[in-house]
Amino acid sequence: MNEPYKIILVDDEDEVRGRISSKIMAESGFQVVGTAGNGYDALELIEKYSPQVVLTDIKMPYIDGIELARIIRRDYPTVRIGFITGYDEFDYAREAIKLNVFTFMTKPLTQEDISIFLHKLKEDLDAEFAENYNREKIEKRYQQSIPLLIDNYFVSLLSSGSSGNKNDIEQLRQYGVSLDETRYMVAFVIIERNAENWGIIEYEKLKMSVHSRLGSLISLEGIDSYHFMFHEGIVFVVKEKGSAFQSEIDLVFNRMVRTTEHYLSVRIDIGASLLHKDFGELAEAYEEASMALSYSRFGTVSRISYFNQFGERESHPVTLKEGDARNLEQVLRYGSDAEISDFLASLRANAAADAANSGNLNLYVLNIVTLLANYAVSIGIDINELAGGDVIELMGKLRDIDQLFTWLTGLVKKIRERTLAQRSNNAQRMLEQAINYIYANYQNPELTMETVCDSLGISASYLGQLFKKHKESTFVKFLTGVRMEKAMERLVSSGARIVEISALCGYQDVYYFSHSFKKYAGIPPKKYREENQ
């Protein structure tokens, strides 16, 4: 590990903290990132710095080192704990063993004591770090990742639109994946979206369920296939089997449609390619399957569409290139206004050049509007609302490339504005819910970041980021601020005893309450009451 390991030092004596800190040299591989005079302040520092080591005195006010160690062992189990004490007592040593404390040292600590402790601790931490990267574990993880690697190779082949890198194809063959010994068909499956799976998370979970069910179903039919998630759908590479393959695969596809609707209450559409052979034709087969699916959305009532049903299309219509589709979604999600404008201008120039040779932009318009519609749905936006009407009807009124890109630019701008507004609103709404929960439960001494996160269904790291970004504070500081402000109100407006106000503000220990209040307000509670009544 290149970075020094982080230490939090806890002792109620300033002089002791300073003396011990001065003995921890940079060359030891450790750095003291924070010091605290009591256990409560130490917990705040642990949350802030995520140290590898906490070196704490045992005898301290409010909560002692033993209790602090119990909390650390419960909430931060990977942190190493060391005890320092002026009491060489057997009971403390026995408790340290129970808590799996790394070391137990008695004051006064010499430079040699500290050096021996840090050397042993660094060996232990380095060994643990190295253990995570040893060959055996890497090999095991590699073997477990092979199915994902296969999926990634297929996705890479389709995304590039090329015949594939020879090394990648050879690697696939070593994994037992071959498209050379027999012909294959590509089927592209799209899952219909409805109100129940409108959100991104719900939709992705549904896709995984459908993926699993369809994969099991085709396997039960004794048909060899490879299947993986790709863009908004699922791709199946199905190997030909027997002379009646076309009729048999049609039955399988129909069974896929019926069982998915019956068991998962969702409808799917399947587009199927012609039969192909070898890796070099995979991208072409996928384009055929995708095109068949696009045609079916507007021209058939069946949930299954085959490319050969539509015959030769007139004058090789212009289609949105795979790379352009991917880049458009990328700039929509992450690009600036200028980057979006530049990309649309580039897209227009390329489309104009292609249209000059073909003269047919119908499929191009359908491709790009479908992409925008799918993107809008993925973030919970009704594209028809933004477009001011049914997008299919509106795009049917477009007559030339200038009209197309004027309309697209306006639509993209509206999607972009709504996306930015939603991101901000979602973050603010989640933070407001967390703050409301804190105000509703600040009196509870057991209130922690974890209880708030469990209530809202979010991660602690995300909530921490929200407080840092929008409140410039940590969760602990914000909670302390709420409790202190409530305490100030009660000190001025009520005649309750300070011990009662302490309990009403979530503090079980009145002495720690007074300590925190003075730290926050600059004066003790009693004096604050006298000065403000």
Cross-strand partners of 57: 84
CA geometry: angle 372, 152, 268, nearest 5 deg: 50
DSSP, residue by residue, 401-437: HHHHHHHHHHHHHHHHHHHHHHHHHHHHHHHHHHHHH
pLDDT given at position 266: 83
How distant, in Å, are the alpha carbons of 27, 498, 513 from that of 3? 12, 46, 37
CATH superfamily of 143-309: Reverse transcriptase/Diguanylate cyclase domain (3.30.70.270)
pLDDT at 315: 45
Domain coordinates in residue numbering, the chain: 5-131, 143-309, 322-423, 442-532
pLDDT given at position 129: 77
Amino acid at 460: A
Of the CATH numbers 3.40.630.10, 1.10.600.10, 3.40.50.2300, 3.60.15.10, which one belongs to the domain with range 5-131? 3.40.50.2300
pTM of the model: 0.39
449-456 and 401-441 helices, crossing angle to 10°: 130
Q: How far apart are CA 203 and CA 524, in angstroms?
A: 55
Residue 443's pLDDT is what? 94
Q: Which residues of 100-114 are buried (b: 16+ CB within 10 A; e: fewer)?
A: ebbbbbebebeeebb
- Considering Cα of 366, then 367, then 369, then 370, what sign does the dihedral take? positive
**CATH for 442-532, among 3.40.50.150, 1.10.10.60, 1.25.40.10, 1.10.150.120?**
1.10.10.60
Low-confidence ranges of the chain (pLDDT < 70): 1, 87-100, 102, 132-139, 142-143, 161-165, 193-199, 294-302, 310-318, 354-362, 395-400, 403, 421-424
CB 194 within 8 A of CB 270: no
d(CA 533, CA 529): 6
Starting at the edge strand that comes first in sequence, how are the strands of the sheet with 5-10 ordered? 30-36, 5-10, 53-57, 80-85, 103-106
For the chain, what is the largest distance between any 2 Cα atoms, rounded to a whole number of angstroms?
96
Phi, psi of 10 (to 5 degrees): -125, 120
d(CA 68, CA 510): 18
How far is 392 from 35, CA to CA, in rounded Å?
64
DSSP at 510: H
Query: Can 143-309 and 442-532 be said to share one CATH topology?
Result: no
Helix, strand, or coil (residue 223): coil
DSSP codes, 244-282: THHHHHHHHHHHHHHHHHHHHS--EEEEE---B-SGGGH
| pLDDT at res. 310 | 61
Locate all alpha helices (DSSP H) within 265-400, ordered by sequence. Answer: 282-299, 322-334, 337-358, 362-378, 383-387, 391-396
On whether the CB atoms of residues 372 and 459 are closer than 8 A, the answer is no
Look at phi and psi of residue 161 and say left if phi exceeds 0, alpha if psi is from -120 to 50, else beta. Answer: left
In Å, what is the CA distance from 69 to each residue of 6, 74, 177, 293?
A: 17, 8, 53, 61
DSSP secondary structure, 426-468, as one string: HHHHHHHHHHHHHHHHTT-TT--HHHHHHHHT--HHHHHHHII
Write down the pLDDT at residue 299: 36
Residue with tokens 């002026």: 86
> pLDDT by residue (tens digit) across 367-425?
878 888 888 887 778 888 887 777 777 765 565 677 678 888 888 888 877 777 666 67
The predicted structure's pLDDT at residue 159: 78
- Tell me, what's the pLDDT at 317? 61
